Amino acid sequence: MKLTLVYVIALVALSASEVLSISLKKGELKAPSTPLAKGKHEVKTAHKVKTADKVKTVKKEKKEKNKDSSSFCDGKPLSHGKQLPGGSCSPTIQGDIPSAERMTSTLIISPENGAVLEPNQLFSVDVLVKNLDTGHFSDPETEYNALPQTLHHGLIQGHSHITIQRLIGNVPPRANEFAFFKGLEDKDNKGLLTAQVIGADNSTGLDAGAYRICTMAGSFTHQPLVMPIAKRGSQDDCIRIRVGEGKGKGKGEGKGKGKGKGKGEGKGKKKCQDKDKEGK
């Protein structure tokens, strides 16, 4: 009887072993895998294999996307530190971006908006700038758009410019035409930056006409400042002035028409003549 019982138990064990072997070959059941970091055993299921394949696909797509980004400038003329009027493709990354509390802001305090100035007489443009670490000015002939934007104590390292363009009616001026341009490469004095309007030929001031004066802030290698949010005030300022077309002409014609032709034309003409002499 004991011999029979031992024989039955042996047969049952042998059958179970064969079933387990067949199941493992078919992939229906697997023995516990290598322990994970937390000491648990992982059993791979069809669902988990599918998830792993999906993650692998996503990673592959991201890799392909990054590859496309790195090859964005392939076949295009590259920016290489020089100013290229014909256009180019820059591989330079944007760099460090300040917080919203450290965004740059600028205000032109002189001349005043709407001011009337004498023709060809020296004047300065005074600017107050906030949240810009000024005095960082690379060589624009060899390092233009060459380096990413950088921060110092949270402020963009860069500089500003003054650009003056003549206006004709309501026609937007061409961006590559200007009456005066100067880079403000010095460190500010308690936020104040100043530029005297002196031409390349040492001429002073501006000819008679209507003008727009603007600031143009840039990072160390002159690219426009990159800000952290879209809804914000401008980092630059613009004003409009008139040169040599103010009080003489307007006052003369006004009094002439209202109080007598002789008096009005005489006074107006004299002032205009004075302005012409100063302009010459």
Q: Is residue 104 part of a domain?
A: yes
Q: Is residue 214 part of a domain?
A: yes
The CA distance from 175 to 165, in Å, is: 9
- Whole-structure pTM over 0.85, yes or no? no
Q: Could you tell me the pLDDT band of residue 70, with boundaries at 50, 70 and 90?
A: confident
Q: Is residue 154 part of a domain?
A: yes
Residue 34 is predicted with a pLDDT of: 38
Asked if residue 113 has pLDDT above 60, the reply is yes
Look up the CATH number of the domain holding residue 178.
2.60.40.10
How big, in percent rounded to 5, are the helix, strand and coil portions of the chain? 30, 25, 45
- DSSP class of residue 231 equals S
Q: Is residue 208 part of a domain?
A: yes
Residue 4 is predicted with a pLDDT of: 54
Q: Could you tell me the pLDDT band of residue 55, with boundaries at 50, 70 and 90?
A: low
Q: Is residue 250 part of a domain?
A: no
Residue 218, domain extent: 100-243
Q: Is residue 183 part of a domain?
A: yes
Q: Could you tell me the pLDDT band of residue 61, with boundaries at 50, 70 and 90?
A: low
**194 in helix, strand or coil?**
strand
Q: pLDDT tens digits, residue range 92-109? A: 999 999 999 999 999 999
Q: Is residue 82 part of a domain?
A: no
Split into its structural domains, the chain has a count of: 1
Amino acid identity of residue 138, one-letter, is: S
Cα 43 to chain centroid, rounded? 51
Residue 259 is predicted with a pLDDT of: 43
The CA distance from 225 to 160, in Å, is: 10
Q: pLDDT tens digits, residue range 22-35? A: 444 444 444 444 34
Residue 13 is predicted with a pLDDT of: 55
Q: Is residue 55 part of a domain?
A: no
Average pLDDT over residues 60-77: 71
